[in-house]
Structure 1
Amino acid sequence: MARRTPNKFLRSLVAERVSKRWAKAARGAKEADLSVLRRERNYARTLRQHLNELIYVADSRLALPMIGSTTFRKPQGSDWAWRPQLWRGPLPVPGMSSVQNKSQLGDEVTLFHDCVFSELTLRQLRNTREADLAPFGMRMDVFKFDGSFLSLVIDLPPEAVQGLKRRHLLRMDTIVEMEKPLEIFARLNIRHGPNTEQIVRELPLHEEEIMVEFDLAYTKLNEKRVEKAWLDLIFEGPDMNQVTLRDLTFSRRPRAEL
């Protein structure tokens, strides 16, 4: 049996006594004198603030996966793969309420809607499940929705269109959780010169692996004039729902030659 050092023993003893002290105070709260109860409440609030801070930092450091992780499954032959910053690392502003049209969460994600009164919230949350590969997720709460459209726009980085050809397949993978069923569509937009190619796919939310692929062979893409690309996630019937995107990744690969 390993022996504890004096310092570890004293810390353990102090922690045990503090725990017993507050357990006793909690048990006696119903009968305690009001002046004593008021003092104990103030002490408890101060202690709770420190404990919450410790728990928050510990969860962030100890939870899986590690912050900054870019690990995810990519199709064989992929020549580009990417996870947006919102799902990869902590944002300076992790959330917002009464989200207005064209509000940004980070540098790459923008929410669009036409609600007169916004009852939407967006926030980044820490993924702690062992099954999650993304360090962070995004949660959207929709209460009363009086608009006609709601979409989340993800700007793809310049690397996504460097060397982009019509023989490429562009793939999006995601993990979605919902309070109640709804339809989500993914629309890929690629600007080339004065024109913009668009491909729309419905997310197969009933399947275990939620993935869509965009085959550029069916577009009129001018390979020499490709400028940028972005993806719209369009939510149909989002009223009174909570949608969590645990992960969102992109990859591309050239189609096998026939």
Structure 2
Amino acid sequence: MQVRSALVDWIVQRRGVRRWTKAARRAPDMPLRELRHERSNARKLLYSLNEMLAVAENRLALPMIGSHAFPKPHGTDWAWRPSLWCLPLPNPGMSSAMSKSKLGDELILFHDCAHSELTLRQIRNQREADLAPYGLRMDVFNFDGSFLSVVLDLPHGAVDGLKKNHLVRLNTIVEMEKPLEIFARLNIKHGPNTEQIVRELPLHEDDIVVEFDLAYSNLNEKRIERAWLDLIFENPQMSQVTLRDVTLSRRQRADF
């Protein structure tokens, strides 16, 4: 039935194209009464075509849903964009978000506010520069706590084969309503211990990059279990922060 319907649509479309091609050729010699009638029909068709083209061009200009594409350094042996920035969430947001609230399967919010006035929501990226289909927007109103962070659990691939001669790279795009400080902390659990490396994000740059050099850590390569990333927001009261993209990758040092 679907094949037949597609065939009928194709035949109708072909006939329509032939009909308007023929009308265009006849237009110079067409009687004025008929010409007015055809002009009216053409304008109605043109309105629908322009409307369809406008919607199609807008949608096709957006980053493709599910895209994991982003630039990676030479020698990268693992790269990842969390699903929150790739795919639509069944529940795209939350208000008055409590500590330990989850957004999607990978991101958890932590804070110590007595009364939460925080909202988190997934948004659709629409800028020409965006490679990630989605972004994360956080609105903070009154903030009576002492800390605020979001935590991303890294997949097993991040620690599979991880060595002390690896560099772990974080790329992100951040928009802010007002200046604030954001720190990234990479946590790697190895046996009973957890190695932590902290970097401040250079927020004055458009494409924000920080690297975690494991060569200077006390990492026990044979006992690595899991890893996660904290993004820590300092003095976030009355602010809006949008993370347009978050990607991580790793590569081995050439000079280790």
Residues 114-142 of structure 1: CA deviation (Å, up to 9, x unaligned): 10110000000000111100000000000
- Of 207-216 and 235-244, the range deviating more from structure 2: 207-216
Tell me the matched-pair count: 217
Q: Does the CA-based 8 Å contact 2:123-2:134 persist in structure 1?
A: yes
Residues 212-250 of structure 1: CA deviation (Å, up to 9, x unaligned): 100001111110110000000000000000000000000
Post-superposition shift, 1:104? 0.5
Q: Name the TM-score, length of structure 1 as normaliser.
A: 0.78
CA RMSD of aligned residues (A): 2.4
The answer for the alignment partner of 1:193 in structure 2 is: 191
CA distance in 2: counterparts of 1:252 and 1:100, whole angstroms: 33
Matches within 5 A, 1:29-68: 61-68=59-66
The answer for the alignment partner of 2:245 in structure 1 is: 247
Q: Does the CA-based 8 Å contact 1:63-1:127 persist in structure 2?
A: no
- Given the superposition, is the C-alpha separation of residues 60 and 114 from structure 1 closer, same or farther in structure 2, using an over 3 Å criterion? farther
Residues 10-44 of structure 1: CA deviation (Å, up to 9, x unaligned): 6963997xxxxxxxxxxxxxxxxxxxxxxxxxxxx
Matches within 5 A, 1:95-110: 95-110=93-108
- Given the superposition, is the C-alpha separation of residues 10 and 112 from structure 1 closer, same or farther in structure 2, using an over 3 Å criterion? farther
User: Does the residue aligned with 1:205 lie in a helix, a strand or coil?
Assistant: coil
Q: Does the CA-based 8 Å contact 1:153-1:232 persist in structure 2?
A: yes
Post-superposition shift, 1:211? 0.7
The answer for the alignment partner of 1:25 in structure 2 is: none
The answer for the alignment partner of 2:44 in structure 1 is: 13
Q: Does the CA-based 8 Å contact 2:173-2:206 persist in structure 1?
A: no
- Given the superposition, is the C-alpha separation of residues 159 and 118 from structure 1 closer, same or farther in structure 2, using an over 3 Å criterion? same
The answer for the alignment partner of 2:155 in structure 1 is: 157
User: Does the residue aligned with 1:217 lie in a helix, a strand or coil?
Assistant: helix
CA distance in 1: counterparts of 2:147 and 2:22, whole angstroms: 63
User: Does the residue aligned with 1:147 lie in a helix, a strand or coil?
Assistant: coil
Q: Does the CA-based 8 Å contact 1:122-1:139 persist in structure 2?
A: yes
Letter in 2 for 1:174: T
User: Does the residue aligned with 2:122 lie in a helix, a strand or coil?
Assistant: strand
CA distance in 2: counterparts of 1:60 and 1:114, whole angstroms: 41
User: Does the residue aligned with 2:222 lie in a helix, a strand or coil?
Assistant: helix
Q: What percent identity do the matched residue pairs reach?
A: 70
CA distance in 2: counterparts of 1:96 and 1:187, whole angstroms: 24
Residues 135-193 of structure 1: CA deviation (Å, up to 9, x unaligned): 00000000000000000100000000000000000000000000000000000000001
* Unaligned segments of structure 1, at least 5 residues: 17-53
Residues 100-122 of structure 1: CA deviation (Å, up to 9, x unaligned): 10001100000000101100000
Matches within 5 A, 1:30-179: 61-179=59-177
- Given the superposition, is the C-alpha separation of residues 13 and 122 from structure 1 closer, same or farther in structure 2, using an over 3 Å criterion? same
CA distance in 2: counterparts of 1:69 and 1:79, whole angstroms: 19
CA distance in 2: counterparts of 1:138 and 1:109, whole angstroms: 10
Post-superposition shift, 1:206? 1.1
- Given the superposition, is the C-alpha separation of residues 66 and 189 from structure 1 closer, same or farther in structure 2, using an over 3 Å criterion? same
> Do structure 1's residue 216 and structure 2's residue 211 form an aligned pair?
no
Letter in 2 for 1:243: V
Letter in 1 for 2:222: K
Letter in 1 for 2:96: S
The answer for the alignment partner of 2:33 in structure 1 is: none
Q: Name the TM-score, length of structure 2 as normaliser.
A: 0.79
